[in-house]
Amino acid sequence: MARRPSLQESPLPLFKGGEAVRAATPPARQPSYIGDHRARLRDRFLTGGADAMPDYELLEMVLFRANARRDMKPVGRALLDRFASFNGVITAAPTDLQKVDGVGPSIVAELKLIEAAAQRLLRGKVINKPVLSSWQALLDYCQTAMAHRETEQFRILFLDRKNTLMADEPQAKGTVDHVPVYPREVVKRALELNASALILVHNHPSGDPTPSAADIDMTQQIVEATGVFGIQVHDHLVIGQACEFSFRAEGYL
């Protein structure tokens, strides 16, 4: 007599279109303690805002979306141990992020989404606004966009006759300690936009914003080239990881 299959054995295959199809295993459920913990974090965030939460809990909430069933607290703490701060985590290079155990493409995508949203938010506070009345917002935007880059980037902020920021454009990318800048290209783009003034910005991946001799020479070349066309260079900002260096404030312009 044929033996009935035990309940512990694999289920019989289903048939579809003449071919055997193994029944799909139902997805594992999220452990209840993880759901309860996340609910408490959300309630605390909605009640007290970000100020009521340390960096590791705020980061943990960001990581919820990347993995619905795994406890993300260890991953969040590992990221903070490596990159020191919430800002350091979301601005880290994708290749460096994935060196942390438990971090894959989905987590990288969530972190880079937060970084992009932060930059868009701060950019919205300065674009099409008078620079002199929103100077701190401008510095905050430059810090967020450039302070933690691993290579140098040179950007130009183009201003109209009322010193309103009309465009913000990256012009060149370089290495860890050099970025090529061509004064003729700066002048060309300023004329195309009918800009009346410029603010030059570049970052130092080393973290020290002190300008090099090459930075000073390049700035002077741009000042001379744009001056021929009546375009003023208001400032050159060198962005470090904790502060910035202003050529005008330090008497270089």
Whether the per-residue pLDDT at 3 is higher than 60: the answer is no
Whether the per-residue pLDDT at 7 is higher than 50: the answer is no
138 shares a domain with 115:
no
Find how far residue 89's CA is from the centre of its chain.
9
How much is the pLDDT for 18? 53
Between 226 and 25, whose confidence is greater? 226
Does residue 8 lie within any of the structural domains?
no
pLDDT band at 234 (very low <50, low <70, confident <90, very high): very high
Question: Concatenated DSSP letters for 26-48?
Answer: PPPPPPHHHHHHHHHHHHHHHHH
How much is the pLDDT for 24? 54
157 shares a domain with 90:
no
pLDDT band at 9 (very low <50, low <70, confident <90, very high): very low
Does residue 2 lie within any of the structural domains?
no
152 shares a domain with 204:
yes
214 shares a domain with 132:
yes
Does residue 21 lie within any of the structural domains?
no
**CATH number, domain containing residue 156:** 3.40.140.10
Domain extent, residue 208, equals 126-246
Q: Dihedral sign, CA of 81, 87, 90, 92?
A: negative
pLDDT digits (tens, 9 = 90+) for 105-122: 999 999 999 999 988 888
Does residue 111 lie within any of the structural domains?
yes
pLDDT digits (tens, 9 = 90+) for 145-202: 888 888 888 999 999 999 999 999 988 766 665 678 889 999 999 999 999 999 999 9
Whether the per-residue pLDDT at 253 is higher than 70: the answer is yes
107 shares a domain with 42:
yes
207 shares a domain with 159:
yes
How much is the pLDDT for 174? 63
Least confident of 5-9, 125-129, 205-209, 210-214: 5-9
* Residue finishing a domain among 87, 121, 155: 121
DSSP state of 24: P
Does residue 12 lie within any of the structural domains?
no
How much is the pLDDT for 132? 77
79 shares a domain with 134:
no
> Total structural domains in the chain?
2
Between 90 and 65, whose confidence is greater? 90
151 shares a domain with 231:
yes
Whether the per-residue pLDDT at 17 is higher than 60: the answer is no
162 shares a domain with 65:
no
Q: Give the Å distances, CA to CA, from 36 to 29, 43, 57, 107, 184.
A: 14, 11, 14, 22, 60
Does residue 7 lie within any of the structural domains?
no
Does residue 63 lie within any of the structural domains?
yes
What is the distance between the alpha carbons of residues 92 and 112, in angstroms, rounded to a whole number? 9
In 10 A of CB 23, how many CB atoms? 10
* Residue finishing a domain among 96, 121, 146: 121
pLDDT digits (tens, 9 = 90+) for 59-85: 888 887 777 667 788 888 999 999 888
* Residue finishing a domain among 63, 91, 121: 121
171 shares a domain with 67:
no
Please give the single-letter amino acid code of residue 85.
S
103 shares a domain with 208:
no
Find how far residue 185's CA is from the centre of its chain.
27
pLDDT band at 214 (very low <50, low <70, confident <90, very high): very high
What mean pLDDT, rounded, does the chain reach?
83
How much is the pLDDT for 2? 55
**CATH number, domain containing residue 103:** 1.10.150
How much is the pLDDT for 19? 53
Whether the per-residue pLDDT at 243 is higher than 60: the answer is yes
167 DSSP β-pair partners? 158
Does residue 5 lie within any of the structural domains?
no
105 shares a domain with 132:
no
pTM of this structure:
0.69
Whether the per-residue pLDDT at 55 is higher than 60: the answer is yes
How much is the pLDDT for 13? 53
Q: What is the mean pLDDT of residues 45-49?
A: 78
